[in-house]
Amino acid sequence: MLYEKRGAIAYVTVNRPKVLNALDQRTWQDLRAAFADAQDDADVRGVILTGAGDKAFIAGADVGELAQATAIEAEGSSAYGQEVLNLVENLGKPVIAAVNGFALGGGCETAMACTIRIAAQDAKFGQPEVKLGVIPGGGGTQRLPRLVGRGRALQLILSGEMISAQEAYRIGLVNEVVPAAELIARAEGILNQVLSNAPLAVQYALAAVTKGSATSQAEGLSLEAALFGLCAGTEDKYEGTQAFLQKRPAQFHAR
């Protein structure tokens, strides 16, 4: 795992290119450590997640490891992967998946836990677990239907088929498709646009969408109102509204 901080952005790179960045137990642990650090570091305001090399984002689970796992061990591994991806999804900071190649199985699941997904033109997506005699275990059965709808999700999960970046964009699995050479720059561009806004407002908007989508609409609306009220009591709200009225750039301080 490569972990680097430049300015307000942390860069997390899964670094096992010889096995297409497959997720073994150690890699899951390294992912958790990197994102825990990014969450705790106040200077980090956003994360870009990608894979080393030019072939794969994350090609899935380490099949050799899976082949030896007992039922109890597999359930534990699934729960641990879910815990790591819940951390990514609920980081409180935007995470952009820069999908630079194969995003299959756990790789697709990892991308889905991110806030925004940008794909290189030759990226591929899929949940092929049924071809190995198992089902998605890193949140795929839950996040994929929420992103693309139940019918499309079931088609992908039950068939195990692999789809192109363009098809992933068509069904709403990815936000944008860009040339591979522009992938990281575009992820940085989106993230910098987000980070130019009021930090607390970004944090609360993320919470409203992430937590609200896991409950009823009525409960989500109550959460939205509460977080709107919290925003309204901040110095950043005062600065943002005054800057707008005075026709000048806002200077936010996350207060």
Residue with tokens 């806002």: 250
Checking if the pLDDT of 53 tops 90, the result is: yes
pLDDT tens, 19-31?
999 999 999 999 9
Whether the CB-CB separation of 22 and 61 falls below 8 Å is answered with: yes
Whether the CB-CB separation of 21 and 71 falls below 8 Å is answered with: no
- Write down the CATH number for the domain with range 199-245: 1.10.12
C-alpha pair distances (Å), 24 with each of 77, 161, 178: 10, 23, 29
- Write down the CATH number for the domain with range 2-195: 3.90.226.10
Active site residue 188: no
What confidence score (pLDDT) does residue 205 get? 97
The CATH 3.90.226.10 portion of the chain extends over 2-195
Q: What is the mean pLDDT of the chain?
A: 97
pLDDT tens, 169-212?
999 999 999 999 999 999 999 999 999 999 999 999 999 999 99
- From the candidates 4, 75, 89, 109, which is the catalytic residue? 109
- From the candidates 73, 75, 129, 235, which is the catalytic residue? 129
The CATH 1.10.12 portion of the chain extends over 199-245
pTM summary value = 0.95
d(CA 255, CA 253): 5
pLDDT tens, 124-148?
999 999 999 999 999 999 999 999 9
Whether the CB-CB separation of 84 and 32 falls below 8 Å is answered with: yes
Active site residue 219: no
**CB within 8 Å of 204: residues ≥ 6 apart:** 227, 228, 230, 231
